[in-house]
Chain A
Amino acid sequence: MNVDPTTLLAIFAMAVVTYGTRIAGLFVADRLVLSDRAKAAFDAIPPAVLVAVVAPTALTTGWAEAMATAITAFAALRLPLLGTVVVGVVSVVLLRAVL
């Protein structure tokens, strides 16, 4: 049970940035006017980041992962979050065993 100094610094940095975004809205509440396009770009941030994070694992690791990604994406349009995770994990285990 130990705490690495660099890891601790990284956690502090993440904490400060996160709290900053949480309170920043209080200060811009009266002034924030976004165009429709700027609003669309802002709304696109979470999915853009999530996709960028997993794209290497999902697309360029191997055939098993790429096919499991397609199956998971299909499941995600129909199932709740936990069901999607179960489908993804089961399909990658089966595909890795077969391929």
Chain B
Amino acid sequence: MAGAHATQSPSWRDARAGLRDIAPAAIAAIPIGLLFGAVAVSKGMSALEVGLMSVLVFAGGAQFAAIESWIQPAPILTLAFATFLINARHILMGASLSSKMTLSRPQKLAAMFFMTDETWALSERRARERPVTGAYWLAMGVVLFANWVLMTTLGAVLGSFLGDPARLGADFAFTALFIGLVAGFGRSRVTLVTVAISAIVAALVHVTVGAPWHVASGALAGIAAAYWAAGWKTRE
């Protein structure tokens, strides 16, 4: 008995826990990755560009937002700003997780490349009982990363054979996906006010000024509305 367990190092045990915890998220990401690749190709990206974006950016929300309003040539500053807005939550996530990881500063700098909503949330949950080790973190991060890169690239390759995605309603898939994601942020009054203001301002700006200004103006109006609504709530 003792011999059998001695062959299983703590790192291996943590890595296996990471694989077990991340499995549902990785499976759920398969069709979403395929969809991303297929729609990206329909917007004029090559499969190689899709793969490169997934390898280097590795952030589903930012990639979806970029491709939804993708035009040629790519508006670099607009994309960078939208990416910052969407990923700004990483700053708070990293700040919260930092002290719970048993890693040196240089190791953390490398490990943080793999931070996603899923790996962060699972690590915060695990940190309530034990520290988050490099083996646990990397097992989750590498699986999600490889899964995302493979599936988005495969979707891009398959998508070029499918033709016009509007024919199958696939152009609406992102809209539906985003609505589903927004619902995941809850139904508090602050969230509802944020969603309503952001939608109205973005739609108005898109009609009057045009793309891509609706993203930043709608988002900033929604964020301001949340700040306003949060104060309004505490006064009651």
Contacts and interface: CB of A to CB of B under 8 A. Distances in A.
A60 B219 CA distance: 17
Nearest to A84: B180
B22 interface: no
Main secondary structure of the interface of B (DSSP, over half): helix
Interface string A1-34: 1111011111111111111011111101100100
Contacts of B229: 40
27 contacts: A1-B47, A4-B74, A6-B76, A7-B45, A14-B62, A18-B58, A18-B83, A19-B112, A23-B94, A23-B108, A25-B94, A45-B86, A47-B182, A48-B195, A48-B220, A51-B194, A51-B202, A52-B216, A54-B178, A56-B202, A57-B171, A57-B172, A60-B203, A84-B177, A84-B183, A85-B176, A88-B177
Contacts of A96: 169
Interface of A: 1-4, 6-19, 21-26, 28-29, 32, 36-60, 65, 68-69, 72-73, 76-77, 79, 81-82, 84-85, 87-90, 92-93, 96
Contact of B93 (A8, A14, A25, A88): A25
Nearest to A6: B73
Given A1-B46, A59-B203, A81-B28, A14 B83 contact: yes
A25 B230 contact: no
A71 B176 CA distance: 10
A26 to B, nearest CB: 5
Nearest to B191: A47
B230 A89 contact: no
A90 B169 contact: yes
A2 B46 contact: yes
Contacts of B206: 55-56, 60
Contacts of B99: 29
A98 to B, nearest CB: 13
B222 A10 contact: no
B14 interface: no
B4 interface: no
B180 A42 contact: no
Contacts of A81: 28, 32, 177, 180-181, 184
Contact of B113 (A19, A76, A90): A19
A59 B199 CA distance: 8
Contact of A26 (B63, B69, B105, B183): B105
Contacts of B226: 40-41, 43-44, 48
Given A6-B73, A32-B95, A89 B172 contact: yes
Given A10-B74, A17-B80, A47-B185, A54 B68 contact: yes
Contacts of A65: 172, 175
B183 A77 contact: yes
B61 interface: yes
